[in-house]
């Protein structure tokens, strides 16, 4: 039996096709990487929480469209951020393997991709849901691109305090997708993420300080030092403790949430105290800072989970109606 008859010839002929398919797969994953999918998970989760917690009903298909729009608009802003920051991303160890610094995606392709997805997601939100949700989505997207990335990131250590507002919008957007408005309760959800962002990010900046120094980005540990950063983190986590109870106080969720928020808030504060007393200030050496960064993500996931579980009795009839 010749090689050709057992299919080797076919295999050789198929090789370029296989390579092309592999290439296409690699390109898809590069474009997905532009969307910062891991960060997006929590953005989407908090947006979903806004949808669940808002009073009123929404058809599940529309709820899914709203979540998709939040995910795509956030990812699109991330792609534009990677286009603008391609010079500093190439310098930092954490970001140097991203698709633009490695040459896998051209800068102009990335920015076009980001702009098209931004416009598409905002338009879909406006058409399928409502104009308030679409306007908030556009504001969040533009805030991350223009206020955080282009204006503040390279100028001031307060970059993430002000610019962090972008990431605080998703629950408000989810809420508005259901109600068509902005309420005190949705502002409380915004405030929670707004106050959470600085300790979340500065914990990372403490053990990635060298990266930011190298790239010349004025993050707080670089500009003001570790002690000042740790003090600020303590302040924000102290404020976060009572702020976490506001959704309960406003009746967004009940006592179960209030207990969870107190425990989680105290734990987050405990991490900030541990970071404060941790004397290991070598770049990359601070175990406490690493743990606090990881806990910050768990904290927000659990806060919104607790809020939603507390609303579960109200959700049940809703789910039954959807199922029916
Ligand atoms: C200006 C505000 C913020 C800054 C500067 C910031 C910065 C960062 C950075 C640098 C990382 C490491 C990312 C990586 O290397 O993959 C990170 C991780 C993360 N951030 Fe933030 N963040 C901010 C706000 C938020 C918000 C609002 C959320 C969601 C509500 C969020 C969710 C996450 C999650 C889930 C991760 C973990 C990703 C992973 O598993 O690697 N961040 N953040
Ligand atoms: C439309 C919408 C809902 C927008 C939300 C935008 C959003 C996901 C904000 C979170 C902020 C964020 C990921 C900052 C990363 O900082 P960086 O860009 O400095 O991080 P890097 O060094 O990893 O690039």
Domain segments of the chain as ranges:
7-182, 184-313
What letter would DSSP give residue 106?
-
Work out the average pLDDT over 169-175: 98
Q: How far is the CA of 242 from the centre of ligand 2 (A)?
A: 26
- Ligand 2 touching residue 175 (CB < 6 A): no
Whole-Å CA distances, 224 to 183, 213, 279, 291: 37, 12, 17, 22
Residue 280: per-residue pLDDT: 72
pLDDT bucket at 286, cuts 50 / 70 / 90: confident
At a CB cut-off of 8 Å and minimum separation 6, what does 276 contact? 230, 231, 233, 234
Distance from the Cα of residue 313 to its chain's centroid: 28
Q: Is the CB of 95 under 6 A from ligand 2?
A: yes
For a ligand 1 pocket test, name from 37, 39, 193 the mutation site with the most ligand atoms within 8 angstroms of its C-beta.
39
Ligand 1 pocket test: which of 171, 200, 296 has the largest number of ligand atoms within 8 Å of its C-beta? 200
Q: Whose CA is nearest to atom 8 of ligand 1?
A: 201
Whether 13 has a pLDDT exceeding 50, the answer reads no
CATH architecture of 7-182: Orthogonal Bundle (1.10)
Q: Is the CB of 46 under 6 A from ligand 1?
A: yes
Q: Of 101, 100, 88, which Cα lies nearest the Cα of 219?
A: 88
pTM of the model: 0.90
Written as six digits, the tokens of 205 are: 């900046």
**Residue carrying the six token digits 């960060």:** 39
Longest dimension (CA), the chain: 80
Q: Closest Cα to atom 35, ligand 1: which residue?
A: 39
Q: What is the complex's ipTM, to 2 decimals? A: 0.95
Mean pLDDT calculated for residue range 15-36: 74
Up-side HSE of residue 186: CA atoms within 13 Å toward CB?
27
Q: Contact, 3 vs 9, CB < 8 A?
A: yes
Q: What is the mean pLDDT of residues 10-21?
A: 50
How far is ligand 2, taken at its centre, from the CA of residue 286, in Å? 24
pLDDT value for 17: 58
| Residues contacting 95, CB < 8 A, separation 6+ | 85, 88, 89, 101, 211
Report whether residue 122 contacts ligand 2, using a CB cutoff of 6 Å. no
166 lines ligand 2 (CB under 6 A): yes
Closest CA to 66 of 178, 184, 193, 187: 178
- Name the band, by pLDDT with cuts 50, 70 and 90, for residue 243: very high
Grade residue 3 by pLDDT with cuts at 50, 70 and 90.
very low
Contact by Cβ (8 Å): 224, 157:
yes
Give the C-alpha separation, 31 to 19, whole Å. Answer: 18
Please report the pLDDT score of residue 311 as a whole number: 78
Predicted pLDDT at 21? 53
For residue 130, the tally of other CB atoms under 10 A from its CB is 18
Atom of ligand 1 nearest to the CA of 193: 27
What is the 266 CA–ligand 1 centroid distance (Å)? 22
Q: Is 39 in the pocket of ligand 2 (CB under 6 A)?
A: yes
Looking at the CA of residue 173, tell me the nearest atom of ligand 2.
3
Cβ–ligand 2 contact at 296 (below 6 Å): no
Q: Which of 195, 202, 163, 182 is nearest to 261 (CA)?
A: 195
CB of 74 sitting under 6 A from ligand 2: yes
pLDDT at residue 272 greater than cutoff 60: yes
pLDDT above 50: residue 9: no
Tell me how far apart the alpha carbons of residues 263 and 284 are, in angstroms, rounded to a whole number. Answer: 29
Q: How far is CA 166 from CA 68, 97, 218, in A?
A: 17, 25, 19
CA end-to-end span of the chain, whole Å?
62
The pLDDT of residue 24 is 61
Q: Please state, in angstroms and rounded to a whole number, the distance separating the CA atoms of residues 194 and 78.
A: 18
| Averaged pLDDT, 187-197 | 98
pLDDT of residue 20: 55
144 backbone dihedrals φ, ψ, rounded to 5°: -65, -40
Q: What is the pLDDT of residues 64-114, one digit of tens each?
A: 999 999 999 999 999 999 999 999 999 999 999 999 999 999 999 999 999
Q: Which residues of 236-260 are buried (b: 16+ CB within 10 A; e: fewer)?
A: bbeebbebbebbbeeebbbeebbeb
Compute how many other C-beta atoms are within 10 angstroms of the C-beta atom of residue 41.
Answer: 13
């Amino acid at each position: 039996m010749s090689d050709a008859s057992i299919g080797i010839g076919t295999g050789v002929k198929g090789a370029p096709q296989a390579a092309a398919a592999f290439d296409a797969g690699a390109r898809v994953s590069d474009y997905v990487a532009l969307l910062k999918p891991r960060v997006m998970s929590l953005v989407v989760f908090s947006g979903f929480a806004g949808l669940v917690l808002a009073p009123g009903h929404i058809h599940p298909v529309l709820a899914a469209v709203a979540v998709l729009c939040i995910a795509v608009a956030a990812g699109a802003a991330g792609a534009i951020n990677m286009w603008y920051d391609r010079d500093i991303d190439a310098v930092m160890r954490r970001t140097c393997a991203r698709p633009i610094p490695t040459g896998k995606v051209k800068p102009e392709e990335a920015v076009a991709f980001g702009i098209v997805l931004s416009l598409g997601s905002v338009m879909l939100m406006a058409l399928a849901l409502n104009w308030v949700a679409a306007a908030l989505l556009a504001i969040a997207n533009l805030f991350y691109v223009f206020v955080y990335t282009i204006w503040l990131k390279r100028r001031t250590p307060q970059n993430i305090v002000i610019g962090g507002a972008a990431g605080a919008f998703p629950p408000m957007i989810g809420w508005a997708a259901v109600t068509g408005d902005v309420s005190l309760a949705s502002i409380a959800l915004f405030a929670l993420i707004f106050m959470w962002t600085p300790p979340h990010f500065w914990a990372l900046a403490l053990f990635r300080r060298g990266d930011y120094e190298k790239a010349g980005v004025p993050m707080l540990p670089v500009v003001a030092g570790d002690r000042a950063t740790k003090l600020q983190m303590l302040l924000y986590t102290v404020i976060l403790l009572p702020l976490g109870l506001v959704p309960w106080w406003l009746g967004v969720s009940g006592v179960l949430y209030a207990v969870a928020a107190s425990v989680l808030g105290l734990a987050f504060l405990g991490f900030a105290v541990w970071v404060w007393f941790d004397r290991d200030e070598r770049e990359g050496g601070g175990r406490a800072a690493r743990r606090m960064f990881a806990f910050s993500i768990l904290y927000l996931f659990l806060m919104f989970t607790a809020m939603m579980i507390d609303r579960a009795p109200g959700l049940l009839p809703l789910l039954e109606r959807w199922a029916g």
